[in-house]
Amino acid sequence: MNPQDEIRQLEQALEKITAKAKEFGLDFYDTYFEICPADILYTFGAYGMPTRFTHWTFGKAYHKMKTQYDYNLGRIYEMVINSNPCYAFLLEGNSLIQNKLIMAHVLAHCDFFKNNAYFKNTSRDMLESMAAAAERFRSYEFKYGRDRVEKFIDAAISIQEHVEPRLMIKEGRREEQKNKQECTCKRPETPYDDLWSLDEEKSECTCSTNRKFPQKPEKDIMLFILHHSRELEDWQQDIMSVIRQEMLYFWPQMETKIMNEGWATYWHLRIMREIDLDEAETVEFAKMHSGIIQTSRFRLNPYTLGLKIFEDIEKRWENPSQEEKREYGRRGGEGREKIFEVRATENDVSFLRNYLTKELVEELDLYLYKKVGYDWKITDKEWEKVRDGLVSNLTNCGYPHIVVEDGDFNRRSELYLKHCYEGKELDVYYLERTLPYVFNLWGKPVHLETVLDNRKVLFSYNGEKTSKKFL
């Protein structure tokens, strides 16, 4: 087919798909589509965005993804950017019906980006911000040397997941707490009490609130180091701030992966059913959709799990049983309204906690498993434990919860971190190779308390070697 004719057909299909999506009630920003060759699309996929600073980790990701594509082991059909307007990139070589399905899928993603509460505070101008940051990073490479800049980016990226996405919610509380944290040592009872001590030598305050730093454990290690490290130069602070902001931009996508993909799959399925397809297109659509929701014995398919939960929610609120009507007051006929409410207010943790039922666990044959010796074995199929296990793996996007316990440990400005142990041990190999990076950022010895074999352990790095002792 002539490329111009193909583009014309694609534009006509997009008009129909957009109209149908709006008819269903989807609300999305203006969306622009662009067809890209595989090299470009996989570069975008490796970097996470079309414009971003350069780093060897992105090249590593690109090589892996492109190799899978070349050997037909994996394929990226599209990529969509959370921005206003939204931008989506289609893989060159997709058939017309593939692009129709993808466009319906993308519009549902854009609806999710716009309306889900966890995306409320994400920057919609991140494309421009990342492009400007990349230019600044390149200028730092010319000024300070590529090796020095890359080594610092290595250090910052090593802890980039340790941010606090809910920080803005807590800012108001911190202002209220400032008054409570003022020194109360020897506070005068009347305005004239200080007259009695005019001739006395002033002694240092021993109030405990002045000794604790920070006052309460802080989860945002990136921000704490950014604000309090004495080693960082201005350009290093800029790099660290950019990496933190980019992680905060990607965080809502990480914590709503199952919901987002399930929502997009739910709607591409319904939109494609409503538009006119000939027999060959129907068969190709069915094959492509079945490939998207294909399950695996070893990993969760977020498209399938999210789709099934949304369909189950719609069914239970549309046609509730007599017991559900009596116990939960469901009137019926509210299925579509309920899934829009869930889309707007939940993330993956609350989504599974509240809506993954016993029947779904059994239907999808979900189970927990782990390696025992040299073999992988199923450890539990009880639905509540399976649900709780999935939720546990998704908490904090699967990353360990580590907080800054003390920024002035031993009165030597040493950094004391604490792992909030919840039954999962840290990877010691990874831990011992990350502490030197934290040392480079902080400039003083770094300590990390965790639990191994049910015993508290303190790992320390002093700039030369890592040591370990049991507490």
User: What are the residues whose beta carbons fall under 8 Å from the beta carbon of 90, sequence distance 6 or more?
Assistant: 33, 34, 35, 36, 77, 78, 99, 102, 103
Where along the chain do its domains lie?
Answer: 3-116+268-289, 296-390, 397-470
Q: How many CB atoms lie within 10 A of CB 182?
A: 10
Report residue 44 as tokens: 């975008």
Four-residue CA torsion sign, 319, 391, 157, 299:
negative
Give the residue ranges of DSSP H helices in 401-451.
428-442
Report residue 41 as tokens: 């699309």
The label of the residue with tokens 């509240």 reads 354
Helix/strand number for the chain, H first, E second = 18, 10
Question: What is the pLDDT tens value at each position of the chain, 471 positions in all?
Answer: 677 888 899 999 999 999 999 999 999 999 999 999 989 999 999 999 999 999 999 999 999 998 988 888 878 888 999 999 999 999 988 889 999 999 999 999 999 999 999 999 898 899 999 999 999 999 999 999 999 999 999 999 999 999 999 876 555 445 445 544 445 455 455 656 555 665 555 555 555 445 678 889 999 999 999 999 999 999 999 999 999 999 999 999 999 999 999 999 999 999 999 988 889 999 999 999 999 999 888 789 999 999 999 999 999 999 998 888 888 888 888 999 999 999 999 999 999 999 999 999 999 999 998 888 888 899 999 999 999 999 999 999 999 999 999 999 988 999 999 999 998 899 999 999 999 999 999 999 999 999 999 999 999 999 999 999 998
Beta strands in 117-276 (DSSP E): none
- pLDDT (0 to 100) of residue 299: 85
- pLDDT (0 to 100) of residue 304: 96
What three-state secondary structure class fits 233? Answer: coil
Burial bucket for residue 62 (CB in 10 Å: 0-12, 13-18, 19+) = middle
Residue 313: phi, psi to the nearest 5? Answer: -60, -45
pTM of the model: 0.89
Length of the chain: 471
CA 447 to chain centre: 26
